[in-house]
Amino acid sequence: MFPLSVYATQAMHGIVSGMLLFLVASGLTLVFGMMGILNIAHAGFYMLGAYLAYSTVHATGHFWLSLLVAPIAVGAIGALVERFLLRRTHAFGHAYELLLTFGLFFMIGEAVRWIWGSNPLQVAVPAGLVGSIPFLGSQYPLYRLFILCVSALICLGMAAALLKTRVGIVIRSAVSDGEMVSALGVNTPLVSLGVFTVGSALAAVAGVIAAPFLQADPSMGAVILTDLFVVIVIGGFGSLLGALLASLMIGELQSFGILWFPEFALVFQFLLMAIVLIVRPQGLFGEKG
Amino acid sequence: MGHRLSRRRFVKGAAAAGAFAAAPAVILRPGFAQTGPVKIGVLEPRSGPVKYVGDKHVAALGYAVEQVNAAGGLLGRKLEIVVADSEMKGDVATRRANDLIFSEKVDFLTGLGSTVGKAASQIAAQNKKIFFTPTSEAVELTGEEFFDTTFRCTVNTEMHSALLAVYFTKLAPRAYEKFYLLSEDDNFGRSATAGFRRKFAALKRPGQTIVGEEYHPFQRLQDFGPYITKVRATGAEVVVTSDWGQDLRLLLQQGRALGWNVKVGSFFLNDPSTLQAIGADAVGHVTASDYLVTADTPANTEFVKKWRARYPNPPLESTVPDLTMGRYAECVRWLANVIKKAGSLDTARLIKEWEGARFDMVWGEVEMRACDHQMQTPGYVAEVMVPEKIPQEIRYFGNDFPYIGRPVRISRDEITQPARDTGNRRCA
């Protein structure tokens, strides 16, 4: 048996990796809820964020600046993708949109290799977040705690924006009945454009935050893609709260799975997904389609 | 970003030098016969995430082939490599190996990785061609799945893990007691771990124990925190791992951040791309191989000097020949020597010539054991150091990032796998 501090640390690992996963998934689920598009290129945007963090740090020496540069740049790319690609395929149905974002995902991957090369690139932990703090008789890295705080803040920010602001009300109404909202004089294409841009920017923020933890690596998009799908399926397509809960569950399942049943650690998340699909096919917080 | 452009130009240059620019030289040197070049078919990743590994191996082969041709070629003919994309998949490698043999009429096959190696060794055996490998360490290739056309000119997993076991039980500066075995969950990780266990059990000193053995998913894990916390909880002082690339990088970085105080014994911690990305968190850990670029022999010093003169502006990963590159280059040099001695490309005569042959690799004298075609070789273990501690003459990367220092040498008798234990019927 392990001392108590091991269980506590393990639980922290689960929360931290769960929250990082949520940060990536949040933008994806927002876009899906609003537009019904499962944007596979989202994982590519996340990777772009990490690489832009590398380039920003490399060029200016300021990590924090990349929290501005990456979301703006990737948000702009997202806006162009929505306006000039997705909007044109929309009429042909979701299958075409899926194929389009799938293709984009590969194009982004190749572009990253072409621009930055195949070697992993190091992004240093920003000064001030280097080192660890004492944690239940052990120590815990500051940067992991920082990941936790940023993700929690963004989560709260999104919830507040969606529930308390006028824009949020419009978005939520557009999700539930787009035609009606459009008939009421709201410019729904503009709302779609905005949501897709914000979703892409969120992916970039996640990439920037992940960069000092995981480094910028050309395989990071593909690696996170499976986990993203599991999160979205368990949480329910389009549900932010569902994504949050699913991310945390996956984080903890992995953490304690490795502690107790290391041989099967990665099976648990798929097991959970299977159970959810059987019991509640629309996901924990998804609406019946 | 400057690296990227130079890499592309570099690979092109290396490939051209090794293979595709053979024609002008043939015209210039009427000594080469009209029968065409002697061809080595090479199966390497030429696309996908590990393409850069294929790039540096093509560079190493290009170098070796150039050296052979500069010294007059083989049997009056030029040596040439023909590269095909293995995509690191067994079925693709099988198809491409057939293409190489039937369309390109190659005389030899080689390629990266154990899956590709197994596929290529079968195709080679079916077509009575020699398959030689400086990178596939899976014991079965020269053991239970042996073909007499297969030759391994590097260590197998048993020997590779024996290097680490000998180091930690006999040579390490401190008597480490608690060992944790943590590797990727694939064929290589499992046999490397099993090999370490066997050798460790035979050599361990009183008090030395293995406190944990574990496998993690292959190249897809982001957070190693849960594993590291477990390792810490056991009080392990040494972690032995077959991890490489992204897994090794994340393990070492996150381990340090979470405050583990262990020495990592690794199989592949010597490639500059990984070490540059890991940075200071790699310092103090050790790596083992038959060839290490920092080995202190006159022949190796000469080899590295010539390499650097040949490739004056290389991309990072080809600055110096790392362990697999050195093995590739030396393996081709040995093959050329065998062909010259046999005076023929006839497979049966080559097999006879290579069995039991001795050769001076740049890292020491080796022998091709006759019964299983497993090279017997001394090996090295080196520690990663901050640049200031690395002797000036081998500080190949300046003060940019930590790299391995001078290694300790371990004799071939200490790491050999007894012939009767190989599972090869010819050795029983």
CATH number given to B158-289+379-419:
3.40.50.2300
The amino acid occupying position B155 is: V
CB of B212 within 8 Å of any CB in chain A?
Answer: no
Distance CA A242, CA B115 (A): 41
User: Which chain B residues contact residue A258 at CB under 8 A?
Assistant: 216, 226-227, 230
* CB contacts < 8 A (A, B): 98
For B145-165, what is each residue's pLDDT tens digit? 999 999 999 999 999 999 999
Only one residue has tokens 């500066």, namely B173
Distance CA B271, CA A18 (A): 32
- Measure A188 CA to nearest chain B CA, in Å: 38
ipTM for the complex shown: 0.89
CB spacing of A120 vs B227 below 8 angstroms: no
User: Is the pLDDT reported for residue B346 higher than 50?
Assistant: yes
CB spacing of B258 vs A139 below 8 angstroms: yes
Rounded to two decimals, what is the model's pTM? 0.88
At residue B254, φ and ψ (nearest 5 deg) are: -70, -30
The pLDDT of residue A63 is 95
Tens of pLDDT along chain A (289 residues) come to 788 888 999 999 999 999 999 999 999 998 988 888 899 999 999 999 999 999 999 999 999 999 999 999 999 999 999 999 999 998 888 899 999 999 999 999 999 999 998 888 889 899 889 888 888 777 899 999 999 999 999 999 999 998 899 888 888 887 778 788 888 888 888 988 999 999 999 999 999 999 999 999 888 999 899 899 999 999 988 888 999 999 999 999 999 999 998 888 778 889 999 999 999 988 888 775 4
B141 by Cβ neighbours in 10 Å (0-12 / 13-18 / 19+) ranks as buried
Our CA dihedral for B206, B207, B211, B215, rounded to 10 degrees, sits at -40
> Which of B219, B223, B281 is best to mutate for the A interface (most A CBs within 10 A)?
B223
Which chain B residue is nearest to residue A219, measuring alpha carbons?
Answer: B49
- Measure A252 CA to nearest chain B CA, in Å: 10
Superfamily of the domain at B2-155+296-376: Response regulator (3.40.50.2300)
The amino acid occupying position B264 is: V
Residues present in chain B in total: 428
Per the CB < 8 A criterion, the answer to whether A185 and A179 are in contact is no
CB of B333 within 8 Å of any CB in chain A?
Answer: no
Contacting B residues, span 221-260, partner chain A, CB-CB under 8 Å: 222-223, 225-227, 229-230, 232-233, 246, 249-250, 253, 257-259
pLDDT tier, B33 (very low <50, low <70, confident <90, very high otherwise): very low
Residue span(s) of chain B under CATH 3.40.50.2300 come to 2-155+296-376, 158-289+379-419
CB of B218 within 8 Å of any CB in chain A?
Answer: no
Only one residue has tokens 């520690």, namely B383
Strands B364-368 and B286-289: what pairing? unpaired
For A138-185, what is each residue's pLDDT tens digit? 789 999 999 999 999 999 999 999 889 988 888 888 777 878 888 888
The pLDDT of residue B10 is 56
CB spacing of B277 vs A144 below 8 angstroms: no
CB of A84 within 8 Å of any CB in chain B?
Answer: no
CB of A86 within 8 Å of any CB in chain B?
Answer: no
Q: How many CB atoms lie within 10 A of CB B419?
A: 15
CB of A270 within 8 Å of any CB in chain B?
Answer: no
